[in-house]
């Protein structure tokens, strides 16, 4: 398994988070960052997991305080549990964490590929607009998207 460069991973994470902060504030995608009930989010997670035929046990989806990161509590996935922090109980955060739960623990090309797929397929995001915005915000995209 190739070694990961911690600096590159940190930069990739910052670029991805910056992109998310901007993209999902667009009027036509605000529905993805709107708070949702635990029931609705669990239903979405079950649908994604079944449709994608992910050959791992689906993580438990729960509301909690999250984990402290850069001075604020954020949602996380540890492989067995996806915990959604109070300000991130929405579809986009769930799809992000499901991309991790599918086996992509770093914000690398494999993660971005899965995340793009989930956003387009389950979030109904326009793929062209998504990729253009990711490029404009220096998200490290897999070669097939460049």
Separation CA 12–CA 10 (nearest Å): 5
Number of Cβ within 10 Å of residue 42's Cβ equals: 17
Q: Which residues of 113-139 are buried (b: 16+ CB within 10 A; e: fewer)?
A: bbbbebbeebbebeeeebbebbeebeb
- In the three-class reduction of DSSP (H, G, I as helix; E, B as strand; rest coil), residue 35 is classed as coil
Q: Which residues contact 117 (CB under 8 A, 6 or more apart)?
A: none
Instruction: In whole angstroms, give the CA distance from residue 58 to residue 97.
Output: 12
Domains of the chain with bracketed CATH: 6-140 (3.30.2010.10)
> Over the stretch 67-123, which tens digit does the pLDDT of each residue have?
998 899 999 999 999 999 999 999 999 999 999 999 999 999 999 999 999 999 999
Contact 74, 62 (CB under 8 A): no
Q: Concatenate the DSSP letters of all residues of 56-84 into one string.
A: SPPPEEEE---EEETTEEE-EE-SSEEEE
At 6, is the pLDDT very low, low, confident or very high (cuts 50, 70, 90)? Answer: confident
Task: Tell me what pLDDT residue 3 has.
Answer: 63
> In which band, very low, low, confident or very high, does the pLDDT at 42 lie, cut at 50, 70 and 90?
very high
Using CA atoms, how far residue 136 sits from 40, 89, 124, in Å, is: 32, 26, 20
pTM for the model stands at: 0.94
Residue that has been written with the tokens 């793009």 in this structure: 116
pLDDT bin (cut points 50, 70, 90) of residue 39 is very high
Residue 2 in this model has a pLDDT that exceeds 60: no
As a whole number of angstroms, the longest Cα–Cα distance in the chain is 41
Return the bridge partners of 72, or none: 69
**Mean model confidence pLDDT for the chain:** 94
């Amino acid at each position: 398994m190739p070694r990961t460069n911690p600096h590159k991973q940190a930069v990739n994470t910052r670029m991805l988070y910056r992109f998310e902060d901007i993209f999902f504030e667009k009027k036509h995608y605000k529905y993805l960052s709107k708070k949702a009930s635990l029931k609705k989010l669990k239903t979405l997670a079950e649908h994604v997991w079944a449709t994608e035929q992910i050959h791992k046990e689906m993580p438990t989806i729960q509301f909690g305080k999250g984990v402290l990161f850069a001075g604020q509590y954020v949602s996380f996935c540890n492989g067995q549990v996806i915990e959604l922090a109070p300000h991130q109980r929405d579809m986009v955060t769930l799809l992000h964490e499901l991309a991790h739960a599918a086996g992509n623990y770093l914000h690398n090309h494999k993660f971005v590929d899965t995340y793009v797929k989930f956003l387009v397929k389950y979030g109904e995001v326009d793929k062209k607009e998504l990729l253009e915005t990711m490029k404009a915000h220096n998200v490290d995209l897999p070669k097939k998207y460049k």
